[in-house]
Amino acid sequence: MELAAFIHEPKGAFSYAVNQETLHIRIKTKRDDIQAVKLLPIDPYNWKPVSKGSHVWEFAVKTIQPVEMKKEYVTRLHDCWFAEVPGFKWSRIRYGFILDDGQELCFAGSHSFIPLQEDSAPPADHTNYFNYPYILEDDLYRAPAWVRDTVWYQIFPDRFNRGAAGEQDKLLAWGSDELDGPEKKFGGDLQGVTEKLDYIRGLGCDGIYFTPIFESPSSHKYDTKDYFRIDPQFGDNESFGRLVEEAHKRGIKVMLDAVFNHCGQEHPFWQDVLKNGQDSPYFDYFYIMDPGKPVVSNSMAATADDDDLGAHLNYRTFGFAENMPKWNTENAKAREYLLSVAVYWTERYNIDGWRLDVANEVPHDFWREFRKKIKGINKEIYILGENWFYSNPWLQGDQFDSVMNYEFTAAVTRFFGVHLQNQERFTAADFVYAINGLLVSYPKPVMQNMFNLLDSHDTARVLHICGDNAELVKLAYVFQLTYGGSPSIYYGGEVGLGGDEHHNRQCMPWDTAKQNQDLYQTIRRLIELRKQYNVFKETDISWLSIDDETGSLIYSKESQGSTLYVLIHNSPVAASLNLPVDLKDQVLQDIFAGESVRLSDEISMEPYSFRLLAQ
C-alpha cells in the first residue's frame, strides 16, 4: 500500500459543501494500488459516556455509518475516489478513510495512517480525523443558473463587422491584412455587431463576450484611456446601450471585458504621474519602483537580447509592456475608482457578465469587494476570470463564478491538434487522463459553469492547430459541445477562419463563398442538439473505450434516465471499432444524422468521424 501517494485536503476541491447539509469528498491514491475505500463520517460532537451514568465521555466511533467511495476517474498517476455525503443536519463533520488494497486495511487520518485489523473499530482518537468544521453560507458556491445553458460567441470588435454607417476614413480595407498589429484598424464597430445579432442567434449562441470596447488608442483596447467611454471607433455609450437592448430582445447575454490589472499610457491619471511625479495625486495609484528616479527615463532602453527584459522600467506593467502601467489596487482611491467603473456599466447598461483580464495578478481582496459590489446590483451577473492555470483559490464562492478554462483548451488541442508549438501530441489515453485530472481539480458545481474554449484572441485558432483540416476541427467541437460547462465559439471559427497566434484576429469573412458552410452547419447542429438534450451539459463522463492504436474514444453521459454515447474516431484511416458491452446489439438513435441505428459487435468509422447515439 503506497501511502505516500494518498492525497486529500479539507475545504477545497477535495472537500466542499454542495448545500447546507451535503458534502462532496474526494481522495487520490496511487493508481491500481487500492481496491476499495470507505469514508467514515461522524459529527464532531458525537460523544457518549463510557458507561451508563459515567462522567467520562468518549468519541462515539460506533455511531459512524461508513460510506463506500466510488472510483470516479483515473489519471496517469492516481485513482480518484468520490463520495457524496448528505443529511448533515448540524452542518458539520469529521471524517477519515479506510483504505483496502486487498491484503491490508489502513485508516487514513489527518495526521497519521493507522493499520487496522479486519472488522476492527475505527480509531477513537478524534484528533486524527479530518474536519469540516461548519457549512457556512459563505462556503456555498453559487453561480447564475443560466450560465451552464449558455453558448458564448467571443467577438474582437474591430475585426467582426463594420456597420452600414461605419466610418471609412483611416481604416484598412476589410480583410486586406491577415497579420495582427495593435495599430491596424479595420473599422468593426458596435453597429456592425447589432446588425449581426440574428446571425449569432441563428448559430445558436446566446451569449456575447466582447474583448475591451472602452476608449483606447490600439485595436485590441487592452490599453484603456477612458473606462467610462465607448471607443469612438466602435460608437458611443448610447450605441452600446442599444446593442444590449437588441441582444436581450433575442435572448442574448452580453459580457464586457474589465481590464483592471493595468491601464493604457494615455490614461489621464498616468499622464499626470508622468508630468508631476511624486506631486501627482495619482502617484500611488501605480507601482513606482524607485520614487527617487524619474518614472520614465529616456536614457534606459530595452533591447531584444537583454537578460532582464524589464531592467529599463521604473514602474510595474502588464508583462513588460511600457504602455500598460499596472494599477495599485491596494490603494483605496485607485480601488474605489476601478470599482466605480464596474458599477457604472452594470447599473446603467444592464450587462450580464464581466470577464476579468489578467485576473490572477490582481489581489484576491479586490475581487471579493468587486463581487460584493456587482452581485449587490445584480445577483445573476456572471463573473469570469482570465486565469490560465489551476484556479480553485478564486472559485470558493467569494470571487469568481468561473475562469476561462485554458486547461481544457490545452488537453483538447493536444489530442486533436497537429500544429503544436513546443508541445507533444496526446494519445487517446493521454487525453483521457488529462480530462479526468481536470474533472477532479474543481468542485462539480464549479465545473458546470467553466468557460470552455478551443481558441481565443490570445491563442492560435483551432483550425490552424488542426492543420487546416476542418474534419479534425469538427471533432474538437464535438467534444467541446458534449462536455459540461459553458462553451465558447471564437468569432469566425464556425466558418473556418484560421490563423496562428500572430494571425488570430483576422477580419470575419462575410462572403459566404469564403466560408466553410459544411463546418458551420456541423457546429450549428451540435449547438442545437446541446440545447435540445440536457445530457450534453452534464459534467460526469464514463469512458467506455480508449484506443490509442486507432485514436478512438467512446464515452457516455447520463441525465434523468437518458444516455448519450459519443464515438470519436481521431484518425486519417477508416476503422471498425469494437463496441463496448453497453452498446452491443442495441438499437439507438443517431441524433446528429436523425436516423435509427442497429448495432452489432462493431461499428465502421470513416476518417475523422463521429457518431452521437442516444437511447
Q: Which of 357, 494, 538, 547 is catalytic?
A: 357
- Residue 557's H or E segment, with its range, is strand 552-559
292 CB-near residues (< 8 Å, 6+ apart): none
How many other CB atoms are there within 10 angstroms of residue 470's CB atom?
Answer: 15
Q: What sign does the dihedral 258-261-265-269 (CA atoms) show? A: positive
- DSSP letters, 64-111, are ---EEPEEEEE-SSEEEEEEEE---TTS-EEEEEEEE-SS-EEEE-SS
Residue 481 corresponds to which cell in the numbers above? Answer: 459541445
Residue 354 corresponds to which cell in the numbers above? Answer: 464581466
Cα dist from 277 to 269, 280, 320, whole Å = 11, 6, 21
Residue 453 corresponds to which cell in the numbers above? Answer: 474554449
564 has which bridge partners?
557, 614
SS (H, E, C) 326-385: EECCCCHHHHHHHHHHHHHHHHHHCCCEEEECCHHHCCHHHHHHHHHHHHHHCCCCEEEE
Name the nearest CA neighbour of 375 among 397, 394, 393: 397
User: Using the 8-state DSSP alphabet, how is residue 396 labeled?
Assistant: S
Q: Are 339 and 331 in contact, with CB atoms under 8 Å apart?
A: no
Q: Are 261 and 358 in contact, with CB atoms under 8 Å apart?
A: yes
Q: Which of 139, 195, 223, 386 is catalytic?
A: 386
532 CB-near residues (< 8 Å, 6+ apart): none
Instruction: Report the Cα 200 to chain-centroid distance in Å.
Output: 22
Residue 384 corresponds to which cell in the numbers above? Answer: 469570469
Asked about 357 being catalytic, the answer comes back as yes
Angle at 475 between CA 471 and CA 481, to 5 degrees: 135
Name the nearest CA neighbour of 613 among 595, 589, 594: 589
3-state SS, residue 248? helix
- CA end-to-end distance (rounded Å), the chain: 41
277: left (phi over 0), alpha (psi -120 to 50) or beta: left
How many other CB atoms are there within 10 angstroms of residue 115's CB atom?
Answer: 10
Name the nearest CA neighbour of 190 among 217, 158, 215: 158
As annotated, the active-site residues are 357, 386
